[in-house]
């Protein structure tokens, strides 16, 4: 069976897991029927072969048992492999939407909660590929096995029923007591992972400022807490697993003893005595397996609940019409911005308009909301109030992936990825031409720099562009922003790591983008970054203080008592 999904306006067929579940259920039926081979063989040997002393009958029964157990092995192999394939299928169906939501929530600063969604997918996959689901599929056979024991003799059936009741109580208590330790273990693991990620991201500062020992102690404390909570959860699971196994063995012996008593009284045969003991043990085996794997079941259930929450936002988003890419104007009206729906507004009262071929500089003191404005103009943060329109259509009406083709963004902290220079400039697209990469590099004035690298455009730059200097990363990031001739280009501190030559190349790139009809917005502290702009938006304390032609706004803010030094320098430029 196949399920269809939309991907960029094109229908993609995905395999459904319903057939795999039905297949596993069918194989579980066959497997449990074949497990009756042992007790039936024992019954026939004791009641027929020993009584008749017939060697041919024994040989025939033995050959049949060999064949049945061989078939059982094949069924178990197929069932195990099918479970593994199903777990991979389930993880594959979750990976893309979960990854997309992780990226969105991380960029919008709204990520939180108890877990790591990517790791939750792996937790779910590992459980589905393990013995836990097999035990759950075998649980419905418990009453069938108990009915067979009842058929042997009611007293044996009632004894087995009482034992099954005790084991069920143990399973319920195990479920109740496992929730807290499992949740604590997951929270502790996430806290340790978060600390590790923070330290790795700031490794240079850690080494330079002698913070290694202090942070190592802090991480060790988090690691110890995680290990202790995991050990507590494992201890709890081990206790109930041992109790269940011990009671199952005791019950098997009790049924054997009861069967011997009944056999002495002539109420059942010796074969039924042995068969009842084996069937009783088999009846409780799925329960024992379920208890043994209960910790994984609880972890998988909690992971599934968290994933359901993560994916709820994605399911609630309506499909968007493929609007034409913008090419004429950008209009912002009464914009208010907050990264959290219930948090305070970081920026409010922003209104301006730009047309094709215009460039605007955004000035203001640190913390006034410049980067917050940029994130909202790019669609990363939603608008708390007001509206952003491109060619008259609201920003939220565009499909994000499609709109990304018309946007160019150079963040304040340039984020490159492991790969080649060409791959980073091309935004890792596989459908582009190298001529487009070359055109973007030349527009950014970085072609000569790239040509001087050991392998030119094919030079691997390492994780996060570690093989490049800060200035090189910024200039390649500018080329990436210009790739594909986007209509709206937003540059956040584009020359913070550039020398004079880099400044000149950046201004030439801005002029070239304006000449071909793009709208360019530059967030700046250095006056050289706004040489090519036509208008200035000045933010102060999270509000729009001025907007208009560059010279007029610079004159206005320079006249203020608390004027910006950047304004004075920019006027001199």
Mean pLDDT of the 271-293 span: 82
Mean pLDDT of the 334-341 span: 80
What is residue 288's predicted lDDT score, i.e. its pLDDT?
75
Dist CA 173 CA 166 (whole Å) = 11
Band of pLDDT at residue 247, cut at 50, 70 and 90: confident
Task: Output 421 or 502, whichever has higher pLDDT.
Answer: 421
Which contacts of 296-301 are long-range, i.e. CB under 8 A and separated by 24 or more positions?
296/126, 296/127, 296/130, 296/132, 297/127, 297/132, 297/136, 298/175, 298/178, 298/179, 298/182, 299/123, 299/127, 299/182, 299/186, 300/123, 300/124, 300/127, 300/128, 300/132
What is residue 107's predicted lDDT score, i.e. its pLDDT?
66
Task: Output 346 or 18, whichever has higher pLDDT.
Answer: 346
Does 331 score more than 90 pLDDT?
Answer: yes
Band of pLDDT at residue 458, cut at 50, 70 and 90: very high
Task: Note whether 126 and 263 are within 8 A (CB).
Answer: no
Residue of 414, 415, 393 whose CA lies nearest to 403: 393
What is residue 552's predicted lDDT score, i.e. its pLDDT?
87
pTM of the model: 0.68
Task: Output 75 or 8, whichever has higher pLDDT.
Answer: 75
Task: Note whether 306 and 120 are within 8 A (CB).
Answer: yes
Task: Output 405 or 295, whichever has higher pLDDT.
Answer: 405
Mean pLDDT of the 35-49 span: 85
Mean pLDDT of the 9-20 span: 52
Does 113 score more than 70 pLDDT?
Answer: no
Supply φ then ψ for residue 327, to 5 degrees. -155, 10
Strand, helix or coil at 116? coil
The fraction of the chain above a pLDDT of 70, given in percent, is 89
Band of pLDDT at residue 130, cut at 50, 70 and 90: confident
Mean pLDDT of the 472-491 span: 91
Burial class (CB in 10 A: 0-12, 13-18, 19+), 557: buried
Band of pLDDT at residue 356, cut at 50, 70 and 90: very high
Please identify which residue in the block is written with the tokens 């530059």. Answer: 522
The fraction of the chain above a pLDDT of 90, given in percent, is 16
Band of pLDDT at residue 111, cut at 50, 70 and 90: very low
Dist CA 252 CA 274 (whole Å) = 10
Task: Note whether 446 and 414 are within 8 A (CB).
Answer: no
Band of pLDDT at residue 114, cut at 50, 70 and 90: low
Task: Note whether 374 and 388 are within 8 A (CB).
Answer: no
Band of pLDDT at residue 9, cut at 50, 70 and 90: very low
pLDDT tens, 174-199?
778 777 787 788 788 878 877 877 77
Mean pLDDT of the 5-18 span: 46
Does 1 score more than 80 pLDDT?
Answer: no
What is residue 317's predicted lDDT score, i.e. its pLDDT?
61
Cα 76 to Cα 141, 279, 293, 510, distances in angstroms: 16, 19, 18, 66
Termini Cα distance of the chain: 67
Does 316 score more than 70 pLDDT?
Answer: no
What is residue 399's predicted lDDT score, i.e. its pLDDT?
83
Does 45 score more than 80 pLDDT?
Answer: yes
pLDDT tens, 514-548?
999 999 999 887 666 788 888 999 988 888 888 99
Q: Pairing between strand 488-492 and 407-410?
A: parallel
Band of pLDDT at residue 563, cut at 50, 70 and 90: very low
Supply the mean pLDDT for the chain.
82
What is residue 490's predicted lDDT score, i.e. its pLDDT?
92
Task: Output 241 or 111, whichever has higher pLDDT.
Answer: 241
What is residue 480's predicted lDDT score, i.e. its pLDDT?
92
What is residue 125's predicted lDDT score, i.e. its pLDDT?
86
Does 105 score more than 90 pLDDT?
Answer: no
Does 91 score more than 70 pLDDT?
Answer: yes
Task: Note whether 497 and 503 are within 8 A (CB).
Answer: no
What is residue 437's predicted lDDT score, i.e. its pLDDT?
92
Task: Note whether 457 and 420 are within 8 A (CB).
Answer: yes
Sheet holding 329-337, edge to edge: 393-394, 383-390, 329-337, 347-355, 543-549, 535-540, 359-364, 519-523, 488-492, 407-410
Dist CA 392 CA 246 (whole Å) = 73
Strand, helix or coil at 163? helix
User: Which of the residue ranges 61-70, 147-156, 168-177, 200-209 would you say has the lowest mean pLDDT?
Assistant: 200-209
The top-scoring range by mean pLDDT among 50-64, 129-143, 462-476 is: 50-64
């Amino acid at each position: 069976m196949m399920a269809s999904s939309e991907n960029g306006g094109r229908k993609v067929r995905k395999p459904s897991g319903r057939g795999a579940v039905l297949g596993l259920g069918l194989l579980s039926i066959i497997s449990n029927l074949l497990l009756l081979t042992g007790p039936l063989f024992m019954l026939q040997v004791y009641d027929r072969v020993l009584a008749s002393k017939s060697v041919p009958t024994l040989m025939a029964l033995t050959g049949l048992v060999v064949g049945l157990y061989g078939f059982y092995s094949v069924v178990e192999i197929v069932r195990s492999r099918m479970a593994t394939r199903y777990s991979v299928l389930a993880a594959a169906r979750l990976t893309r939407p979960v990854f997309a939501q992780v990226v969105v929530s991380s960029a919008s600063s709204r990520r939180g909660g108890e877990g790591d969604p990517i790791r939750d997918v792996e937790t779910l996959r590992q459980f589905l590929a393990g013995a836990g689901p097999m035990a759950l599929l075998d649980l419905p056979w418990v009453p069938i096995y108990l009915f067979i024991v009842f058929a042997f003799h009611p007293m044996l059936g009632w004894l087995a029923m009482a034992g099954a009741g005790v084991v069920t109580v143990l399973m319920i208590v195990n479920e109740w007591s496992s929730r807290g330790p499992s949740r604590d273990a997951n929270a502790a693991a996430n806290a340790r992972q978060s600390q590790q990620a923070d330290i790795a991201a700031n490794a240079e500062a850690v080494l330079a400022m002698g913070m290694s020992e202090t942070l190592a102690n802090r991480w060790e404390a988090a690691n110890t807490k995680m290990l202790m909570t995991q050990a507590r959860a494992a201890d709890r699971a081990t206790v109930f697993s041992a109790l269940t196994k011990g009671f199952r063995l005791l019950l098997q012996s009790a049924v054997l003893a009861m069967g011997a008593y009944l056999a002495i009284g002539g109420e059942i045969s010796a074969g039924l005595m042995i068969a009842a003991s084996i069937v009783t043990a088999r009846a409780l085996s799925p329960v024992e397996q379920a208890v043994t794997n209960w910790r994984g079941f609880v972890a998988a259930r909690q992971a599934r609940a968290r994933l359901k929450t993560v994916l709820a936002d994605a399911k609630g988003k309506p499909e968007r019409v493929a609007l034409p890419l913008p090419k004429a104007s950008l209009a912002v009206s009464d914009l208010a911005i907050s990264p959290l729906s219930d948090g305070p507004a970081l920026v409010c009262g922003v209104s301006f308009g730009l047309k094709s071929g215009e460039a605007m500089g955004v000035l203001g003191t640190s913390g006034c909301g410049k980067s917050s404005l940029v994130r909202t103009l790019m669609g990363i943060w939603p608008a708390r109030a007001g509206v952003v329109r491109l060619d008259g259509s609201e920003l939220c009406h565009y499909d994000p992936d499609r709109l990304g083709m018309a946007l160019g963004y150079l963040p304040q902290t340039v984020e490159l990825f492991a790969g080649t220079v060409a791959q980073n400039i091309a935004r890792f697209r596989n459908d582009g031409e190298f001529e487009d990469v070359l055109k973007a590099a030349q527009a950014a004035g970085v072609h000569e720099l790239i040509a001087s690298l050991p392998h030119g455009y094919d030079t691997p730059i390492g994780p996060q562009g570690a093989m490049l200097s800060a200035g090189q990363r910024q200039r390649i990031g500018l080329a990436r922003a210009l790739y594909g001739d986007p209509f709206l280009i937003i540059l956040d501190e584009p020359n913070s790591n550039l020398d004079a030559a880099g400044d000149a190349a950046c201004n030439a790139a801005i002029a070239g983008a304006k000449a071909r009809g793009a709208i360019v917005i530059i967030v700046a502290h250095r006056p050289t970054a706004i040489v090519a702009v036509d208008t200035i938006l000045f933010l102060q304390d999270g509000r729009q203080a001025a907007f208009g032609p560059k010279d007029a706004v610079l004159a206005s803010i320079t006249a203020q008592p608390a004027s910006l030094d950047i304004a004075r320098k920019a006027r001199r430029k």
